[in-house]
Structures are given as structure tokens and as C-alpha cells.
Amino acid sequence: MEEWLKITLCVSLFASFRDFRPVDSFYTSYLTSPAVNFTAEQVTEDIYPINSYATTSIVIIMFLVTDYVLYKPIVMLDAFSSIVMFLLVLEPITLFKAKLSMACLGLTSACELAYMSYAYAKIRDRRLYQKMTGIVRGSNLLGKCLSSTFAQIAVSFIHIEYGLLVYISLAGSCVAFFVTFFFPPVNSSIYFHPESPKTTKSKVNYNTFHNKNHKGLEPCFVEKSPRPVRVVLDQLYLELRDAYTNPYLLKYGVWFAFATGVYFQVLTYNDVLYLNLNERNPVDNKLYNGGVDALAFITGALSSYCIGFLKADWKSASNFYFFIGSLLSCITLCICYVTTSLNLVYIMYIIFCFVFQSMNVVARSETAKHLKHDSFAFIFGVVFFISLVVSSVITYLFVQGTIISIPVNAQFLLYGLINGGLAFWFFFQMCSEKCIVK
């Protein structure tokens, strides 16, 4: 078996078990069940926000630490923090333990970029990146789909208690942690431990070292001591400046920051909305969270796959495509606000995930295609951080009620309006382009 395929399969196995967490689909139901007995207000305002704040506060630092310690230790930390999180929410649970578990979840989320960065660091041939990314992403979605399907079957047909789902999720995280021991170590990284040709001095030319890493035309060695932090920060600044002084890349960065921030909020609080509608009408609004999550992940994977093979001139078509996609996202989320039918909310959620994942593929691929340097992980680490800031600000101001406390269905109206603002922005850009052409 080829070396790149071994690495890909190893990372894929980790990605599958990392997200095999059946309790996620019914986590709010578990926390508000008689066995735990938190109120919906405690879950929404006191517990869930900790995840957003924790992730936001450490994601940029974690990116730099990942590069410094050569990836693998952070991948192991990803799985280990998930294990600690599930241990903390085993019965009996206190409010402090529930909050601490959300801090561990935030650490896990902040480490999420590590396993993909590890794969990019180990597989040096850029021609294989698309295949590798597709396999790993598919494995990740497969793990989520199987997890959600299992949860729905277990709750609806086997009638197991939610607490047992926590133990099964813990087992998935333990397997993921075990898999990390088989990850081959990484000997070099992009920023702190770059490879340099033997014929050159230890100082790396910023404009050429990326190409030398990937072409592999000359024998290389890895610098024994890490590069100074100042040199690394100068390089990061140059990469960031090159990326976002380009209007085409800036457009995708703005979309990714706001749309992904909203996506995080929807994934976090959709379970709360489901439970709210179920409590209003338990007969007509039965909970099928696991099955709906499975459909959402499968349709998201399908849209990603289709867009990946779609041949289009995104330079000219992207504004129209993102206008339509943002408008659809706005409509689906606003419908979640006005309706009292849980089944309709489920349908809108699936459509929203389908549309978001398709736009996400375009934004990522076009950004990677037009970057001057091999800085994909860093650039998306930055916009990932901004999207978390957006999510945290929404949580602080409107979910926890610092300015005004709004009910969960009204929060979905806010998320829809943000997507509506993005749709208006892309429509304005589309009209501006046509005026310039004329």
C-alpha cells in the first residue's frame, strides 16, 4: 500500500470515531431529563455558551502550538479532551461539571484543524490533496451519519436511556484516542520547523520555501531548533496581507466568517428548538433528531461531492451562486421562526445544511486555488476564529441576554437575517460587476 494511502486511512479512521457521538443528537434532552434535571434556560444560557467562549479563546493559539509541537500531540489532545468531556457528564452531574465539560468540548473543537493539518504535513504531494481531503471528509461525515442513525434507532425502537448514549460516545472517543498512537510522527512543519535545502543556510527564504517543501527536488534537512517567533509572526502577517488585499479572496473570507458563525449557532441550538416544539405539542411533534441529523450529514456530503465535480467559472458565477444560497439559507431559518411544526423545522434544517455545505466547498476550493503561498490552514484558521467570534458575540448579546434575551425560535430569525444580509451583499456585488462590464 502506498504511504499516502496509509496516512489517509489512518486519519480517516480517527475522523470517523472522533465524531461517533450518538448523544449529540439528544444532548439537550439528556441534560433536561429527570436523571440530570437541568432546566432549558440553564442549558441555553449557562452551559452551552461555555463551548463557544472556550473555542474562541484558544483556537488561534492552538493553531500555532500545533505547528510548534509537530501536529500529532494536538491530535491526541483532541481525542483525550473529548474523553474527559464525556466522563464529566456521566451521572451524577452538577452544573459545574456540565460547564467544565463544555470547556473540554471547546478544546476539542479548537483542535479540530490539527488532524487535517497533520495529513497535509505528512503527504507532501499536492496532487494528492484533493483525493485525501475527499476521503477524510467523507469518513468524518460517515461517522456523524452512523452516530446519528444509531442514536435515533436506540431512542425510538430500543428505548434506551440517554445516559447510555454518553457511555457509547465515550467509547467512540476512546477508540479515536487509541488510533492516534498509530500515527507516524511528523518531522517538519510549515512555520516553526520548516525543511531547508542542505545547500542553503539555515535562514529560509519566505518566497521559495513552500515550493521546495512540495516539489522535493533537492535533499532537505529539518532545522533542529525552532525558528524564532518573530520570524514566524512576520511570515504570518505577510500571508494574511497577501490573502485579504485580494478582493476575490476577501469576499469568501467575509462569507465564511459570518455564515459559519451562524452555522455553529444552528448546530448548537437546533436541539433546543426541537425540544421546545416537542414540549408544546408532544403528539404531533415527535423527536427524530438522530434521523434528521443523519439525513443532514448525508445530503451535506452529497452536495459537497457534486460541487467538487462541477465545472464552473466561479470568477463570474460565484456572486450569483452565493446570492441564491444565502437567500435560501435566510428563508429556511426564518421559516423555523414562524412555524410550530417540528417536521417542517426538520426539513428546513436539512435544506439549510445542504445549501451551506455546497457553498462551503466553493469558498474553500476557490480560496485554496488563489492563495499565493501554502497557507491554507492558517488563512482558514483565521476565518474560523472570526466565525467563532461572531458566534460568541451572538451568544453573549442575545442568547445569554446581555442586551436582550430572545427565545430560541427568535434566535433563528436573527440567524436568517444575517444570511439575508449576506444575500443582499452578494446581490450588490453582482450588480456592481454588471455595471463595470457595461
DSSP 185: P
Q: Which pLDDT score, from 0 to 100, does residue 360 have?
A: 84
Q: Which pLDDT score, from 0 to 100, does residue 210 have?
A: 43
Q: Which pLDDT score, from 0 to 100, does residue 215 have?
A: 42
Task: Identify whether the C-beta of residue 290 lies closer than 8 Å to the C-beta of residue 417.
Answer: no
Kindly list the structural domains of the chain, giving each domain's residue range(s) and its CATH number in brackets, ordered by start.
Answer: 1-187 (1.20.1250.20), 228-437 (1.20.1250)
Counting every residue, how long is the chain?
A: 438
CA 373, 378, 395 angle in degrees (round to 5)? Answer: 145
Q: Reduce the DSSP state of residue 261 to 3 states and report it.
A: helix
- The model's pTM: 0.78
Task: Identify whether the C-beta of residue 65 lies closer than 8 Å to the C-beta of residue 229.
Answer: no
**pLDDT tier, 290 (very low <50, low <70, confident <90, very high otherwise):** confident
Q: Which range (57-66, 201-210, 224-233) has the least confidence? A: 201-210
Average pLDDT taken over every residue of the chain = 83
Q: Which pLDDT score, from 0 to 100, does residue 68 have?
A: 82
Q: What is the pLDDT of residues 98-124, one digit of tens each?
A: 999 999 999 998 888 788 778 877 877
Q: What is the mean pLDDT of residues 290-312?
A: 78
Could you tell me which residue, 117 or 180, shows the higher pLDDT? 180
Rg of the chain on CA atoms, in Å: 22
Q: What is the pLDDT of residues 117-175, one digit of tens each?
A: 788 778 777 667 667 776 777 788 788 888 988 998 998 888 888 889 999 999 999 99
Q: What is the mean pLDDT of residues 305-333?
A: 85
State how far the Cα of 69 lies from the Cα of 72, in Å rounded to an integer. 8
Q: What is the pLDDT of residues 184-227, one digit of tens each?
A: 988 877 777 776 654 334 444 444 434 444 444 444 445 555 66
Q: What is the mean pLDDT of residues 291-320?
A: 80
Nine-digit cell string for 217:
527536488
Q: What is the pLDDT of residues 371-395, one digit of tens each?
A: 766 566 677 778 888 998 999 899 8
Q: Which pLDDT score, from 0 to 100, does residue 281 have?
A: 86
Q: Which pLDDT score, from 0 to 100, does residue 225 have?
A: 59
State how far the Cα of 286 lies from the Cα of 343, in Å rounded to an integer. 8
Task: Identify whether the C-beta of residue 176 lies closer than 8 Å to the C-beta of residue 17.
Answer: yes
Q: What is the mean pLDDT of residues 304-318?
A: 75
